[in-house]
Chain A
Amino acid sequence: MASVGGGSKDTLTLNLYPMLDIFSILIVFLLMSYSTDPVSHDVNSGLELPDSVTMVTLDELPAIVVTKSELFVNDKKVADVVNGEIPRAQLGESFQGAIRPVYDELKRIADANKRIVAATLNDPAQVGKTGALTMEMDKGHPFKLMKRIMLSAQQAEFVTFKLVVTRIEN
């Protein structure tokens, strides 16, 4: 109010140092949380993860994402999900209950991985090694859907699954 009316020549100076302190602390905190998490992954908005007491942190981005209504393999939509089921028409030429489009996509990835491993490793024993997949799935989906996806992946030589959950305190 000091300068209002032009009568007084007093100027008010705002002390900005406390704000600077807060900013510094906030930046340090945010940068620290960046460096401690090996993988920073934003959960898909179309799904809710179940809670778990696991201490094992996420080490790679999910390859399979099953939202409430869609199924993605490496960000590519491969099937719809209706009431926790894959529509029969999209199952494809299914074998033992697997999902054909998921199998095809994973098989393509597995073959590409094998070619890369064969080109970089001299040990032929390592080439045929089975792979691991990270899977993120909505907590409301039934085991039947999970089983179908796991079976499709198993046929494509992925036998280890890292199931993504929300970490809570033990």
Chain B
Amino acid sequence: MRRKRKGIKRQDVTDIELNIIPFIDVFSMLNTFLLFSAVFVATGIIEVQVPFLSNAPQPKEEGQRTLEVKVDAAKDKLQVITEYSKEPRNEQKFDFPNTKEGMDRMHERLVAIRQANPTQDKLSFFSEDDVIWESISAILDAAKFRKQTDPVFSFKNEKTGAMEQDQQFVFPKIIMGSVIL
């Protein structure tokens, strides 16, 4: 090997340059296409349900005494109403202004209600006709989603018997009560 190497003639050092212009052309085209088709607004969803009349038999829980939670929204006022499905009903009403601070206070109240009744995951929402969608979405945010500082709601699943946790929601099921009124 050594001999061979010795035998190789030393050639002049030449710079080999890779032609990267076509490469840049492809990258530019790809970038332009991706930037044009990119969506920079992050969209999400708030899932709600409307009451539905069904011929299906009533579930067994109908016979139990359960807590019903309602939120009533007006242009300037929010009201949280809690009431049991059977006597003694113990109806309670909590009023809040329809402002950012009012919604924060309403959220705290709803967190306290859910903490005291962790199996109750349903909330009925009522609103007056003139309340705008921007305001409704803020109210639904306060009623539905759990903040990072809120406690985690642990409850026993009636069907499986296992302990479960609600990490994301305060009230996951929102029923738009006013739709069929």
- The residue in chain B whose Cβ has the minimal distance to the Cβ of A96 is B180
- Interface members, chain A 133-162 (any B CB < 8 Å): 134, 137-144, 146-147, 150-151, 153-154, 159-162
- The residue in chain A whose Cβ has the minimal distance to the Cβ of B73 is A143
The SS class assigned to the A binding surface is mixed
Complex interface bits, A48-70 against B, C-beta within 8 A gives 1, otherwise 0 = 01111111111100000000000
Which among A24, A49, A51, A134 is the interface contact of B27 at CB below 8 angstroms?
Answer: A24
Question: Residue A10 at the B interface, CB < 8 A?
Answer: no
User: When A141-B132, A143-B129, A146-B136 are in contact, do A43 and B30 touch as well, CB less than 8 Å?
Assistant: no
Chain B residue numbers with a CB within 8 Å of A94 are: none
Question: Residue B178 at the A interface, CB < 8 A?
Answer: yes
- The residue in chain B whose Cβ has the minimal distance to the Cβ of A137 is B133
- Interface members, chain B 124-159 (any A CB < 8 Å): 127-134, 136-138, 140-141, 144-145, 147-148
Q: How many residues does chain B have at the interface if contact means C-beta atoms less than 8 Å apart?
A: 47
Is the beta-carbon distance between B130 and A167 smaller than 8 angstroms? Answer: no
Which among B27, B43, B50, B52 is the interface contact of A167 at CB below 8 angstroms?
Answer: B43
Is the beta-carbon distance between A159 and B180 smaller than 8 angstroms? Answer: no
Chain A residue numbers with a CB within 8 Å of B128 are: 143
Which among A147, A159, A166 is the interface contact of B178 at CB below 8 angstroms?
Answer: A147
Chain A residue numbers with a CB within 8 Å of B38 are: 30, 33-34, 40
Which among A31, A59, A140 is the interface contact of B132 at CB below 8 angstroms?
Answer: A140
Which among A34, A42, A52, A140 is the interface contact of B34 at CB below 8 angstroms?
Answer: A34
- The residue in chain A whose Cβ has the minimal distance to the Cβ of B28 is A23
Chain B residue numbers with a CB within 8 Å of A4 are: none
Is the beta-carbon distance between B49 and A30 smaller than 8 angstroms? Answer: no
Is the beta-carbon distance between B179 and A165 smaller than 8 angstroms? Answer: no
Which among B21, B30, B51, B131 is the interface contact of A143 at CB below 8 angstroms?
Answer: B131
- Interface members, chain A 81-117 (any B CB < 8 Å): 96
Is the beta-carbon distance between B137 and A50 smaller than 8 angstroms? Answer: yes
Is the beta-carbon distance between B52 and A159 smaller than 8 angstroms? Answer: yes
Which among B45, B129, B176 is the interface contact of A58 at CB below 8 angstroms?
Answer: B45
- The residue in chain B whose Cβ has the minimal distance to the Cβ of A134 is B45
Which 7 pairs from chain A and chain B are nearest by CB? A144-B129, A139-B134, A30-B34, A167-B44, A50-B137, A23-B27, A162-B45
Question: Chain A: residues with CB nearer than 8 A to chain B?
Answer: 16-17, 19-20, 23-24, 26-27, 30-31, 33-34, 37, 40-43, 49-59, 96, 130, 134, 137-144, 146-147, 150-151, 153-154, 159-167, 170
